Structure 1
Amino acid sequence: MATIVRLPKLGLSDRGEIVEWRVAPPDRVQSGDVIAILESDKSAVDIEATTGGVLLTTYVDEGEEIAIEPGRPIAAIGSEGETAPSLDETEDESSEQASEDDGESMQSQPEQVPSVDGDLRVTPKARVVAAEQGIEKLENIKPTGPEESITVSDVERFSAETEPTSIEGAGDSSPASAVKSTPKAKRFASDHSIGLENVTGTGPKGAVTEEDVQRHLEGGTAQTPPPAESGISTTSGDPAGDNAEYTVAEVRELSRVERTVANRLSRSAREKPHVRGNRTVNIEPVERVVGELASKNESSLSVNDLLFRAVVLTLEAHPEFNAVYEDDEYRLIEEKNVGYAVDSEHGLLVPVVKDAGSKSLNALAESRRAVVDRVLDGRHSPSDLQGGTFTVTNVGALGMDSAFSIINPPEVAILVIGRRKPSLFETDDGVETAMGVQLSLLIDHRVLDGGDAGAFLQTLAGYLEQPSTILHTE
């Protein structure tokens, strides 16, 4: 009997897509083999085979956007020559059996929602997906969920089987309103500012599909060309401005993770009044301590390890920075979950060292390296990127002196570390030259001010200029 591979409980967003199938029917797999990569707004995760055998079929196409529901069937594994069960047959199984992977029921009891007949049951996620796809009459959808409830799979099946609808409402007289298109094509075209009236449809009855829009985006103009009398001339792509002419060399579409990062940081830049304070510190004392420890074979600590520990100690002295601001509420957090931004193959990600304040220097160094390595190797889990209360980013590793970084929402501050370079410092004997790094602290001015920033940098500089305090503060 075939074993159904179902989505485990992942803690991801509501929507995502299988960006890669590592195997294809009828490949043989072993239990624990990675068979697919699932990407959501938050992260990319590996989906493993739950048993060994032959991959009989997959129920989700590569690149297809789906609802990330624990228990959702994505593939079937069985014996060679065995017939794979249909998708309908997999959904006839109980929700308890469908969620054996994580020991929890597949979904909560369906939500009772008003309808024409007064007793229609729809799961909360199905209701959201239906609204996104413009489906108003849910009573037309065949329910297959528990207690004859409508699930996300039911909504998506109904959407795929229903004749494509126009992009706009029936009363719209614009050219786009007469264009037949699938819901996915409509969303994709809207995301890329493409007029569907310019896209050649290859779907049922000439409907525009998502693939048609993608093909148009890659090979043609993304917007309706302006009339000749406008004086605007373009060779390809969108007009960049009056009288702009250019040829698009390549169109690079952001991954789901990159789009999420872009949206979050754009919102942060719009909503948070960023204020930056700078201070250059002499980094040579820290370097000397690290060198002495290494010469005695006492540790493998790095300059970054001591600097990271100094930040944690500074947060203990200034708890107003270890906080979040959302829903008009400024909350100081007890645990110090410090993020360390890294440039990964999935773009800028911020792995979080959880409860950093409770760790010794060596334990903190090990935790930071471990979570950073997981992210760089693509082995991280969604929890590795969640729950941050303060962020550190080292742009010096990229050769930059400083950067005006954007605060990672809903946090209220971010510390930027610049590159090591010769700097001037005042001493009791005058001015001396030493290797320094610039520390830039960006704050959310709604809850913090310049005085707070100055005090934070003063404390941090004190730890770095007298690193023995870092070693002996446990």
Structure 2
Amino acid sequence: MAQVLEFKLPDLGEGLTEAEIVRWLVSVGDVVAVDQPVVEVETAKAMVEVPCPYGGVVTARYGEEGTELPVGAPLLTVAVGASEPADAPTAAVAPEAAAPTADPAPAPAPTSASASDETSGNVLVGYGTGAPAARRRRVRRAPMSASAAAPAPAREPVNGAAGAVPVVSPLVRRLAREHGLDLRELTGSGRDGLILRCDVEQAIRQGAAQAPPATPAPAPATTQTPSPAPAPMQATPSTRPGVTRVPLRGVRGAVADKLTRSRHEIPDATCWVDADATELLAARTAMNAAGGTKISLIALFARICTAALARHPELNSTVDLAAREIVRLPEVHLGFAAQTDRGLVVPVVRDAHARSAESLSAEFARLTEAGRAGTLTPGDLTGGTFTLNNYGVFGVDGSTPIINHPEAAMLGIGRIVPKPWVYEGELAVRQVVQLSLTFDHRVCDGGTAGGFLRYVADCVEQPAVLLRAL
């Protein structure tokens, strides 16, 4: 007889507490092997495939695509020991994924001393291919007498589920609680009546719109004059037809949170300089003509940047607010901003200070391809100490970027374009790039920031300057 095991959303590391289901890779009735990926989820860090530790037949799935689940919530159940879907007995699934009925029978009394202070309750946490499914949750409470253990009358069905609120996400419950909403009065727009975050937000907006206006104090008696006709009510941006609301979650939500925190905490400043990149482009052409791994332009800027950080280590640091200390870091883990279909991500090149131009080129290429494919791991996206932002690929000359918290600085690279330039005392057309440095003014002053940026510009104009640092 097959044993039904429940597979829960595992801890994905890096402090992640929830994930959004992007795509199911298996269906109910499919046979899965141990460590076979069963679902693709998106966290605040990256898109990852989650493997199942059990082998058998999938008997239930919890959550539709687009649903956010907390770590530890059920993902699916597997009948272990069954090789065909028909081998999975219904009775084995009932305790974990059976659909609730209108008149649920009272739970059996505890049979052991260890269970005497617990009670079971059906809490709607997801669904398979049919009606919403209920899952047993153990709720700790004080012992009660036999007379007090009688089952309470069953509640009226809500959205097709008896005595259970069809809500998956604890975030939805918290949002409703904070605004004083009774979830049993809402009708869910999700599959099988599932209450989503947008349903709660809509109820909040409707409640605000229906709130009676404050009664003004009676005005003193004056000469009666004709009252002007009331102005027509203007539709708010959220209620006008055609308005689209995009949830801030996943990668986009994580970026929003980090940038907001950076603006709130970091007193940043920006300085910039124009540099003649003609010689740097010529050096790159000569390197690639010699054969071997092609050297990318961003890799050359990274090599220059690590040499500049060795001269100005103040910018490779972070601020410990609790200890009121500046923490200077010995290694350079270089992040670089990359635009993907899922938003802006910042992959990190580990130990960039110890890499050659060839190694940097290869690692930039690997991480860029993984970012486009959505296969970056949380480890690929965390731990950076300094960031390069090549906004020149968008055809712009300059920018004042927001520092990637908790780092202390970011170097921006504009587009390289031919411009008039005084070269060796004469006017010439040269390849010019604008460089900008946004830095945390707590870790250094303008002199240090200016010295760093000037050194970077000198290396761009005369790549031979780098030989001193090699």
State whether TM-score is above 0.5: yes
1:300 and 2:294 are equivalent in the alignment: yes
Correspondence for 2:447:
451
Partner of 1:82: 87
Equivalent residues in 2 for 1:83-232 (5 A)? Answer: 83=88, 85-86=92-93, 139-140=140-141, 184-188=171-175, 196=181, 201-202=186-187, 210-211=195-196, 213-214=198-199, 217=202, 223-224=208-209, 231=231
- Please, which moves more after superposition, 2-11 or 301-310? 2-11
Map of 2:37 onto structure 1: 34
Partner of 2:253: 259
Aligned-partner residue type, residue 38 of structure 1: V
1:369 aligns with 2:374: no
Deviation readout 1:109-138 (Å, 9 max, x if unpaired): xxxxxxxxxxx99xxxxxxxxxxxxxxxx7
Instruction: State the AA in 1 paired with 2:13.
Output: G
Alignment partner, residue 279 of structure 1: 273
- 8 A Cα contact 1:236 1:247, kept in partner: no
Structure 1 counterpart of 2:12: 10
- Partner of residue 309, structure 1: 303
Relative to 1, partners in 2 of residues 1:374 and 1:141: Cα closer, same or farther, differing over 3 Å?
farther
**Is 1:341–1:350's contact at 8 Å kept on the other side of the alignment?**
yes
**What secondary structure is seen at the aligned counterpart in 2 of 1:254?**
coil
Answer with 407-416 or 79-88: which moved more: 79-88
Per-residue CA deviations over 1:387-428 (Å, capped at 9, x if unaligned) read: 010011111111111122110111011111111223344444
Conservation of the 8 A alpha-carbon contact between 2:10 and 2:71? no
Between Structure 1 and Structure 2, the one with more strand by share is 2
CA contact (8 A) 2:35 2:53 kept: yes
Deviation at 1:348, TM superposition (A): 0.7
Aligned to 2:413: 417
Question: How many correspondences in the alignment?
Answer: 385
- Unaligned stretches of 5+ in structure 1? 91-119, 122-137, 143-159, 165-179, 240-245
2:353 aligned partner: 357
Greater RCO (Cα-Cα under 8 Å, separation 6 or more): 2
Q: What is the RMSD computed on CA atoms of the aligned residues?
A: 4.0
**Higher alpha-carbon Rg:** 2
Aligned residue in 2 for 1:132: none
Please give the alpha-carbon distance, in whole angstroms, between the structure 1 residues aligned to 2:445 and 2:431.
29
Q: TM-score when scaled to structure 2?
A: 0.70
Deviates more, 1:384-393 or 1:225-234: 225-234
User: What is the aligned-residue identity percentage?
Assistant: 28
* Aligned residue number for residue 238 of structure 1: 238
Match of 1:386 in 2: 382
Show CA shifts across 1:214-269 (max 9, x none): 38749986952687998573446438xxxxxx534322223322112101111111
| Cα distance in 1 for residues equivalent to 2:207 and 2:368 | 38
- Aligned position for 1:341: 337
Q: 1:133 corresponds to which residue?
A: none
Asked if the contact 2:62/2:74 (under 8 Å) is kept, the reply is no
| 5+ residue gaps, structure 2 | 98-116, 119-138, 144-160, 214-228
- How far, CA to CA, are the matches of 1:10 and 1:450 in structure 2? 41
The answer on whether the counterparts of 1:59 and 1:87 sit within 8 Å (CA) in structure 2 is no
d(CA) in 1 for partners of 2:284 and 2:37?
A: 40
Contact preservation (8 Å) 1:390, 1:414: yes
User: Residue 243 of structure 1 aligns with which residue?
Assistant: none
Q: Per-residue displacement from partner, 1:76-96 (whole Å, max 9, x unpaired)?
A: 264212327549679xxxxxx
- Tell me, in whole angstroms, the C-alpha distance in 2 between the residues paired with 1:307 and 1:406: 19
Equivalent residue number for residue 47 of structure 1: 50
